[in-house]
Amino acid sequence: MSAVRLEIDSGVAVLTLNRPEHRNAFTKDMGLALGEYYASLNADESVRAIVLTGTPPAFCAGADLSTGERTFQAPADSGFSAAPVQPAAFELSKPVIAALNGHAVGIGLTLALQADLRIAADDAAYAIPQVRFGVVPDAVSHWTVPHLAGMAAAAEMMLTGRRYSGAELVRLGLASRSVPADQVLPTALELAHDIATYTAPLSVALCKRLLWDTASLGLDPAQVAARETDLHHRVMGTPDAAEGVRAFLERRPPRWSARMTEEE
């Protein structure tokens, strides 16, 4: 059984963490598979959005603790990285939506925080408890959590390792919505299909890149305004800019022509 399962429908790819007997606990093989899928889906022009979820009842219970106290022993692999999924979701040109349909703990949550949007489950538990296991948070979470929730909220979450509810994630800005568990994936799919149907792929890619660059590069308002102006020069006057207005006036889904390879 594959540790990550892929399904594609109408421009939306669904990646499912698939170790239900272990509550989808994270392994090295799972990380490698997820990174390979991210890279291939990002290069697939027919894929417009990616949804990341887990086989019920959990999203991801965190690191696989089946080796007991040896779980966090010193790595023998010289290529060890605390960011085990490459490329990261925020590096893709396609929107990534994490459908947190159950508990997301440790790397299960820190990987989800690399996505662009998160839908949480009302009654699930969410935590970054690595400091309670004698290690430190991973997957670039020392950047993503302060970026999304601010320094004070990040410090409480990461220094205490305590559990949060779906509603708390929304309050902190770490999730877009919190819904009943059985509605998490349908809600994420609805968002993904809306993106796939109505948004221009190049426009979304450029917008996503600027959103994340603003955080990672610390751009000030003047720098953001300059980047936005550059991006407008790139897209205004293109066939897609005309098609977007035409489709709106004709009350129909747009037919986009720009390809992401043109951006590369």
**8/104 same-domain check:** yes
Q: How many CA atoms lie within 13 A of 239 on its CB side?
A: 7
What's the farthest any 2 CA atoms get from each other in the chain? 63
| pLDDT range class, residue 261, cuts 50, 70, 90 | low
- 83 touches 42 (CB < 8 A): no
Q: Which amino acid, residue 87?
A: P
| Measured distance CA(219)–CA(90) in Å, rounded | 17
| Final residue of a structural domain among 166, 196, 226 | 196
Our count of domains for the chain comes to 2
pLDDT band at 264 (very low <50, low <70, confident <90, very high): very low
Residue 206 tokens read as: 């450029």
Q: What per-residue confidence (pLDDT) applies to 213? A: 95
Residues 119 and 220 both lie in one domain: no
* pLDDT tens sequence across 114-134: 999 999 999 999 999 999 999
256 DSSP β-pair partners:
none
Average pLDDT of the chain to the nearest whole number: 95
Statement to judge: residues 93 and 143 lie in one domain: yes
Name the residue with tokens 């800005």.
173
The share of the chain scoring above pLDDT 70, in percent, equals 98
Cβ neighbours of residue 1 under 8 Å, at least 6 residues apart? Answer: 18, 19
> Domain residues for 207?
200-263
Half-sphere exposure of 259 (CA within 13 A, CB side): 6
Residue (of 193, 161, 164, 177) closest to 51 by Cα position = 193
Read off the CATH number of the domain in which 127 is found.
3.90.226.10
Angle (CA) 209-117-82 rounded to 5° is 75
Residues 178, 117 contacting (CB under 8 angstroms): no
3-state class (DSSP) for residue 82: coil
How far are the Cα atoms of 25, 94, 113 from residue 138, in angstroms, in the given order? 15, 23, 11
User: What value, to the nearest 5°, has the Cα angle with vertex 158 and ends 157 and 159?
Assistant: 100
Contact 61, 24 (CB under 8 A): yes
> What's the pLDDT band for 76 if we cut at 50, 70, 90?
confident
The model's pLDDT over 144-181, given as tens digits with 9 standing for 90+, comes to 999 999 999 999 999 999 999 999 999 999 999 999 99
Residues 155 and 231 in one domain: no
Pair (216, 183) in one structural domain: no
Decide which of 175, 196, 217 is a domain's last residue: 196
Residue 8 in 3-state DSSP? strand
Tell me the mean pLDDT in the region 6-22.
97
Residue at which a domain ends, from 172, 196, 220: 196
- At 78 the pLDDT is 77
Q: For the whole model, what pTM was predicted?
A: 0.95
Relative to beta strand 49-54, strand 4-9 is unpaired
Mean of the pLDDT values across residues 224-245? Answer: 96
At residue 75, does pLDDT exceed 90? no
Q: Are residues 32 and 143 in the same domain?
A: yes
Helix (H) or strand (E) holding 68: none
